[in-house]
Amino acid sequence: MFDPGRPLTGVRVADLTMIWAGPYAAKILADQGAEVIKIESPRAWDNIRTLLPPPMALGEHWWNTNFYLHEYSRNKKSLTLDLAAAEGKQVLARLLPHCDVVLENYRTDVMDNLGLTYDWLREQKQDIIVVGMAGFGKTGPEKDAVGYGPIIEMMSGMTSTSGYGDDGVPYKSGISYGDPIAGIGAAAAVATALVQRQRTGKGQYIDLAQREVMSTMLGEFYMDWSMNKRLPEHMGTGHDWMAPHNVYPCVGDDDWIAICVRTDREWEGLKRAMGSPEWAERTEFSDQILRWEHRSELDELVGKWTATMSKTEAFAALHTEQIPSSPVWKMLEVLRDPHLKERGFYEPLRHPEVGIWSVHGWLWRADGAGPCILGPAPDFGQHNTEVLGGLLGLSEDEQSALEAAGVIASQPEGVPLASEMPPTPSML
């Protein structure tokens, strides 16, 4: 039976990625039905497992339980394998014929250093699809530059576009924006290469530079530079023709609501939502151009209205009038957004060691799909036996030998149990 939610069912991915961008890509592939085997070395595991130590990470086996790991690695399988060891590489060579895709987001030179060149990978599986996601790509004078999301964002042009406008300071996005964007791009690259393989019988090598994917989302700024040699001004929360167009303070602790008016019709609706105040009838607010010209004063007056109520009260009034608006949801609030709740965007995730919490489900929802979350992120090496014994047919003795040689493991090397650690400050 075809499951419309999981069109990549039957695709197997050898996932060598770590931290954010790569695991985000692999998460999408796993959600879409691919069998994603997350491969980590007992000595060089996905850093995200241990980035936020207890007390941030709950659970005695905290490298399996921390919340950050589960953001990216639900629905995946875990295989440990030391790819720097000859035996590890031999196991990978046995695994690759069963795989369709190899995904990696190492520093540019690491795959070659490990001997895992495209040529070698292709020798193991002739039509393998390989996606490398180095920050700046595999060629060119900046190929050896390294960077996490905010560096990618800065180097893409994105950060130069953001700022309050009154101080000249560029601002990065709140998240490591470059990472998920590169991840989405890489998921598209995998699916596209699968489509092409289906047509030609051939695999391919894809060199996806994270910075380049991010930079494609800024086309109009490149055009303005091309056409007018003009660089973007920082707009803050304003707009070049809409007014009101801002965030307005509400009753509460640092609580805000975003309101935008695009047309005279919406302005009439906003006036009704505000209880038809007299000031709104003033000539200087009577059309879009005038409102934009008097936007500072207008912002102040709208802000006086919002400041008398909570952001949910303001939103209710604006929603009734169908005005583009939204509370500036905090993290704990977006989890409870009634709209997202009704759509079932957040789904429960259960981990045997720490219980249940909610994570986001489908990025997009195919009609007829069931729940997105099939299971939590796998424990370190949880599927060693299933993959090595089941899929590859290694005997118990062979698996024990690998374990004795430190090629596979069920615990990251040198990481103590939570109860054996002093409490540690977290970078978050």
Partner 1 sequence: MSEHEQSQPEASRPYEGVRVLELAEGISGPFAGRWLAALGADVVKVERTAGDPSRAFGPWPDDLPDDETSGLFLYLNGDKRSVTLNLDTSDGREILRELAASAEIVIESFEPGFLAERGLGYDELSKDNSALVMISITPFGQTGPNANLPATELTLYAASGQMWLTGHPARQPLKNGGSQPSYQAGLNAFAALSAAYYGAVMHGQGSYIDLSMQETYAAMAEAFHNRASQLGIEAQRGGNFLNALWGVYELSDGYGGICALPRNYPGFARAVGLPELQDERFSDPPQRLVNNDELMAIMYGWFSGQTRQGLMELGIEHRVPFGFVATFEDLSNSEHLQGRDFFAQRDDEAAGSLTYPGRLWLSSGHDWKMGAAPKLGQHNVEIIHAELGYEREDLVRLRELDAI
Stretch that binds partner 1, among 81-89, 278-286, 396-404, 418-426 (CB under 8 A): 418-426
Q: Within 18-57, which residues bind partner 1 (CB under 8 A)?
A: 19-20, 28, 32-33, 47, 51-52, 56
Judged by CB under 8 A, the residue of 83, 96, 191, 273 near partner 1 is 191
Q: Does 324 bind partner 1 (CB under 8 A)?
A: yes
Stretch that binds partner 1, among 89-97, 275-283, 351-359, 408-416 (CB under 8 A): 351-359
Q: Pattern 96-115, binding to partner 1, x per CB under 8 A?
A: -----------x----x---
Distance of closest approach, residue 257 Cβ to partner 1, in angstroms = 8
State how beta strands 129-132 and 101-104 pair: parallel
- DSSP result, 259-298: EE--SHHHHHHHHHHTT--GGGGSGGGSSHHHHHHTHHHH
Q: Does 273 bind partner 1 (CB under 8 A)?
A: no
Q: How many CB atoms lie within 10 A of CB 246?
A: 21
Contacts with partner 1 by CB under 8 A: the residue count is: 166
Q: Does 283 bind partner 1 (CB under 8 A)?
A: no
Distance of closest approach, residue 139 Cβ to partner 1, in angstroms = 5
Q: Does 144 bind partner 1 (CB under 8 A)?
A: yes
Look up tokens 């660089």; give the residue.
Answer: 231
Q: Does 366 bind partner 1 (CB under 8 A)?
A: yes
- Closer residue to partner 1, CB minimum distance, 138 or 291: 138
Q: Within 111-140, which residues bind partner 1 (CB under 8 A)?
A: 112, 117-119, 131, 136-140
Judged by CB under 8 A, the residue of 181, 243, 407, 409 near partner 1 is 181
Whole-angstrom distance between the N-terminal and C-terminal Cα of the chain? 44
Q: How far apart are CA 52 and CA 57, in angstroms?
A: 6
Q: Does 203 bind partner 1 (CB under 8 A)?
A: yes
Judged by CB under 8 A, the residue of 14, 99, 116, 155 near partner 1 is 155
Judged by CB under 8 A, the residue of 89, 98, 142, 379 near partner 1 is 142
Q: How far apart are CA 206 and CA 202, in angstroms?
A: 13
Class of residue 283 by CB neighbours under 10 A (exposed 0-12, middle 13-18, buried 19+): exposed
Q: Does 415 bind partner 1 (CB under 8 A)?
A: no
The closest of 195, 140, 152 to 22, measured between CA atoms, is: 152
- Closer residue to partner 1, CB minimum distance, 217 or 309: 217
- Closer residue to partner 1, CB minimum distance, 106 or 394: 106
Tell me the CA distances in angstroms from 190 to 18, 102, 203, 260, 325, one per residue in order.
Answer: 17, 9, 10, 38, 36
- Closer residue to partner 1, CB minimum distance, 344 or 390: 344
Packed helices 264-273 and 311-320: angle between N→C axes, nearest 10 degrees: 130
Contacts of 208 (CB under 8 A, 6+ apart): 131, 132, 133, 137, 182, 185, 186, 189
Judged by CB under 8 A, the residue of 226, 393, 404, 420 near partner 1 is 226
Q: Does 218 bind partner 1 (CB under 8 A)?
A: yes
Q: How far apart are CA 39 and CA 88, in angstroms?
A: 11
- Closer residue to partner 1, CB minimum distance, 51 or 93: 51
Q: Pattern 242-261, binding to partner 1, x per CB under 8 A?
A: x--xxx-x------xxxxx-
Rounded to a whole number, what is the largest CA-CA distance in the chain? 86
Q: How far apart are CA 137 and CA 141, in angstroms?
A: 10
